Amino acid sequence: MVKLVVAYGQPADPDAFDRHYAETHRPLAQKIPNVRRFEAGRVLGTADGSAAPYYYIAELWFDDAEELQASMQSPEGQAAGEDVGTFATGGATLMIAEA
């Protein structure tokens, strides 16, 4: 399997981020086809107490890289991707990783 790791930087307004994620983005992400597992949550800290490089991490698992690409290019994938730009005021790093 592979996963899409979406790592969000610290947003300007964390409350607004949380609200948008729960009310708008999570429902959009959950409409993406062929997602085998979805997980999302806040970064609580680092092991050594240093500042965490990210505020929030979401992961979407797919059977393979081809299915991930096709799903992200679907209308639902495009809608979720475009929505990221509307609330991720701290940026978002999207990585594809083996799972």
CB of 30 to a copy of itself, least distance (A): 16
Least distance to a copy of itself, CB of residue 66, Å: 12
Q: Which is nearer to a copy of itself, 23 or 98 (CB)?
A: 98
Taking the mean position of all CA atoms in its chain, how far away is CA 70?
A: 17
Q: How far is Cα 83 from Cα 60, in angstroms, rounded to an integer?
A: 16
- Cα-based torsion angle of the residue sequence 38, 43, 81, 79 in order, rounded to the nearest 10 degrees: 60
Q: For residues 35 and 13, give the distance between their C-alpha atoms in angstroms, rounded to a whole number.
A: 29
Nearest to a copy of itself of 4, 89 (CB atom): 4
16 or 65: CB nearest a copy of itself:
65
User: Across-strand partners of 98?
Assistant: 2
Phi, psi of 26 (to 5 degrees): -60, -45
What residues make contact with a copy of itself under the rule CB under 8 A? 2, 4-5, 39, 41-48, 52-54, 57, 65, 72, 81, 93-99
Minimum distance from residue 17 beta carbon to a copy of itself (Å): 14
